[in-house]
A and B are shown apart, each in its own frame.
Chain A
Amino acid sequence: MLRLLDRLEEAIIAFLIGAATLIIFFAVVHRYGLGFMAKSVANFNAWGLPALAGAARSIYRTMAGINMTWAQELTIYMFVWMAKFGAAYGVRTGIHVGVDVLINQLQARTRVGFILFGLLAGALFTGIVGSLGANFVWHMAHTDQTSADLEVPMWLVYLCVPLGSWLMSFRFLQVAVSYWKTGELPKHDHSHVAGLDEEEAKA
């Protein structure tokens, strides 16, 4: 069950960043493609190639039929969702860094206390934010506010705040429990890059 949640979390954030990139890419290609096609029609006509001009015109019509104005808004929402769930994933992998200069000087026992305090404070903060968010979404759901371009209900967009924050709170508690039991924290290694080991072998 927990494993399933982990995989789901990973799949969601990887999908969101990948899809958002492609959407913006196609929106830009679309914008320039239209100009290019319009120019092609004129050029083909000028060169006396009516068949090609006709083909270019029909491509232009098809492309102009696709409305991409929603792309920017959708990407922003996808990234907000990615940020909320990714932050929860980051707790599990230990990517959220703090100032550990001082507590590293402390004795091991006091240090454990501080680290647990930090983790619980994280759980508390994200828990409060989640509840604030849930309250906000609840009020939002009773209005019929929709987003500007996509016209989806706003409460659905903002749903990521309670869901993401509560998930993050849960992750903080999870890490705190496992730290209490095993004394180990997830640690993100900035110097490790997957795939570079083979590079070194080649070099």
Chain B
Amino acid sequence: MSALIIFALLLALMLTGMPISISLGLTVLTFLFTMTTVPIESVALKLFTGIEKFEIMAIPFFILAGNFLTHGGVARRMIRFASSMVGHWHGGLGLAGVMACALFAAVSGSSPATVVAIGSIILPAMVKQGFPTRFGAGVITTSGALGILIPPSIVMVMYAVATSGQLVIGPNGTPVTSASVGQLFIAGVIPGLMLATLLGITTWYRAWKNDYPRLPRASWAERIKALSESFWGLFLIVIVIGGIYTGAFTPTEAAAMSAVYAFVVAVFVYRDMKLREVGKVLLDSASMSAMLLYIITNAVLFSFLMTSENIPQAMAGWMVDQGLGWITFLLFVNVLLLLAGNVMEPSSIVLIMAPILFPVAVRLGIDPVHFGILIVVNMEVGMCHPPVGLNLYVASGITKMGITELTVAVWPWLMTMLGFLVLVTYWPELSLFLPRMLGML
């Protein structure tokens, strides 16, 4: 009963259009003041301790690093490298766009940032070459979503934070530990590369059918030159993934290192950013991080309320009693998350849904890492379709296309992503193979 009231209240408050963090907070407060015996002091304490975890601090660092990279000319050099490698195939710049997005995704943890960084440079160039705007917008909107699947990924950090610290019980009654940020990052590599390839194939096929322009084949000398120019940006992949995998850095430290590195590259190596612009970048990154941290604080409160009312546990028990297997459950999760993707942005969905769904998933024997990757792919799909797909809005800002027109434009790639989602959902080894092989599971 109380679960129903909590959700109804949250839904009602959210639909008034107030910030999600505020509706979460107000729901918790209302519930505490009127219906429960949980002392208000323990909540006050949660308000302070909610974000006092070192892992969460990876989020502001990754945002900062991403902003330095976006401004610092790293994206431009990656595009040049990508077009010298694949530009002469069908799809030309479009295919190069997919590859550039995948490369940039490997240094940035956010999807909209990837769309901005790659899209604002490559889309005007594509239009100039004679590609229809729709085609370019479709490619970049969906490929930009790779930003959260290919590590580093802010959404993965959110998932790790949202599910950590819960006592969850596996199908045979033993406690199961939640997925760590490092495990999730490594698990994202193979699905990320695979989705990039699938999006590339879609692009290639559409371009081949419509005979879109191709670039002249670049010589190996040109390719090596482009590679050496983008070396400083690409080396960041080694720092982040290599550093986390070898255990040299914790994910948070890796994020801080990459922020400093990106700053040095942007200001002193490429010199595409002036020192006086640094203050603005710091301010923008800080305000974006603060917004996310504020949602986290309130989501922590909310999931504390859920747990103290025993809601996830009750749901898990109910699912098991109904004899629902993991196949039905994952179908339900996908539908639920895709629906939620229609009204909320990814970080809020992960923070609200993951703590509730996670105990059920574990109870049904689903691996925490696999479940995390599945949620991330779901969020990717959500970012690319209306009404709230952030990637769509970013792309519409760059291309000046309306949302409706863009929705039509992304359709072929969105279908590819949905197909990929089914694959990720029902083929756990796809996500689990690499971390297991590297001995991280």
Contact = CB atoms under 8 A, between A and B. Distances in A.
Interface of A: 10, 13-18, 20-22, 24-25, 27-28, 32, 72, 75-76, 79-80, 82-87, 89-90, 93, 95-103, 114-115, 117-119, 121-122, 124-126, 128-129, 132-133, 135-136, 158, 161, 189-196, 199-200, 203
A155 to B, nearest CB: 11
Name the residue among A21, A128, A194 with the largest chain B CB count within 10 angstroms.
A21
B44 A80 contact: no
A22 B278 CA distance: 14
B312 interface: no
Classify the interface of chain B: helix, strand, loop or mixed.
Answer: helix
A137 to B, nearest CB: 9
Contacts of B284: 194
A87 B20 CA distance: 13
Nearest to B28: A125
A103 B12 CA distance: 12
B23 interface: yes
Contacts of A17: 60, 64, 282, 285-286, 289
A3 B387 CA distance: 36
Contacts of B288: 95
A161 B48 contact: yes
B291 A115 contact: no
B249 A14 contact: no
A195 B120 CA distance: 11
Contacts of B253: 24, 27-28
A194 B277 contact: yes
B22 A161 contact: no
Given A24-B256, A135-B44, A83 B289 contact: yes
Nearest to B18: A118
Interface pairs A-B: 4 shortest CB-CB: A86-B290, A191-B397, A118-B18, A96-B19
Nearest to B248: A32
Interface in B283-314: 283-291, 293-294, 297
A15 B286 CA distance: 9
Given A80-B48, A194-B280, 7 more contacts: A20-B60, A24-B61, A24-B256, A96-B291, A125-B22, A191-B393, A200-B124
A193 B116 contact: yes
B290 A193 contact: no
Contact of B120 (A85, A189, A199): A199
B44 A87 contact: no
Nearest to A200: B124
A158 B287 CA distance: 20
B211 interface: no
Contacts of A96: 19-22, 291, 294
Given A87-B293, A161-B47, A196-B116, A102 B15 contact: yes
B54 A72 contact: yes
Contacts of A95: 287-288, 291
B290 A190 contact: no
A98 B14 CA distance: 7
A193 B71 contact: yes
A121 B252 CA distance: 34
A90 B17 CA distance: 16
A95 B120 CA distance: 21
A18 B281 CA distance: 10
9 contacts: A15-B282, A79-B289, A98-B23, A99-B15, A129-B25, A193-B120, A196-B71, A199-B272, A203-B124
A95 B112 CA distance: 14
A118 B393 CA distance: 23
A21 B279 contact: no
Contact of B256 (A21, A117, A199): A21
A83 B290 contact: yes
Interface in B18-69: 18-23, 25-26, 29, 40-41, 43-45, 47-48, 51-54, 56-57, 60-61, 64
Contacts of A189: 397
B76 interface: yes
B51 A90 contact: no
A84 to B, nearest CB: 8
B398 A76 contact: no
B422 interface: no
Nearest to B294: A87
Name the residue among A80, A93, A133, A161 with the largest chain B CB count within 10 angstroms.
A80
A24 B256 CA distance: 6
Contacts of B260: 21-22, 25
Given A28-B257, A129-B47, A161-B48, A21 B61 contact: yes
